[in-house]
Structure 1
């Protein structure tokens, strides 16, 4: 995967892959940590949210970063609890449930498949 860095001034993409953020610092297999997290979430009735805040719309040169005001609106909806009552659709491949609407956010960016053009 080609991605540009998040640091200031990094414009040229470099190929990188990490199965788990910080994987060089963890002692156990990432699946063990995922299992432990799932168990604790179930035990305590916690909800979890994956929020895409980075690149959207295709590879470097075609897309752009998700606008910060949109990210803030999504986080606000999580904090207020409104996303708990939202409508969702399930993705084909991974089975993620994606909110179809968040107040103040362009609905097209909520599902990444909508942001990738055929040119990518």
Structure 2
């Protein structure tokens, strides 16, 4: 099945981030947005991020959970939260499922990932 005939909006592309070849697969399912980013050829850490609005509250609340993989790397959770904030700002209200299989967990890599994902919307 080709990407053009796949019934779910999908973007697949690659970029070089801080000298590392990085693959991206972004899929917009009805119930969530899935973003897979890898420099290792495997899934890596799986995170879920959600935006929740409380009745009577003036703003949104964001929750990030590590579902599988590393739980000791705060930059991965920061990346998921910031990506969810920007998805929400762009009108997406679906939860985010983010997989990060990275060699380099630097702030520069995380910022580049977020910028590239936002340039390839499927929501």
Task: Name the structure with the higher strand share.
Answer: 2
TM-score (norm 1): 0.29
Task: Name the structure with the higher helix share.
Answer: 1
Flag the structure with more relative contact order, 1 or 2, with Cα contacts below 8 A and sequence separation at least 6.
Answer: 2
Larger Rg: 1
TM-score (norm 2): 0.29
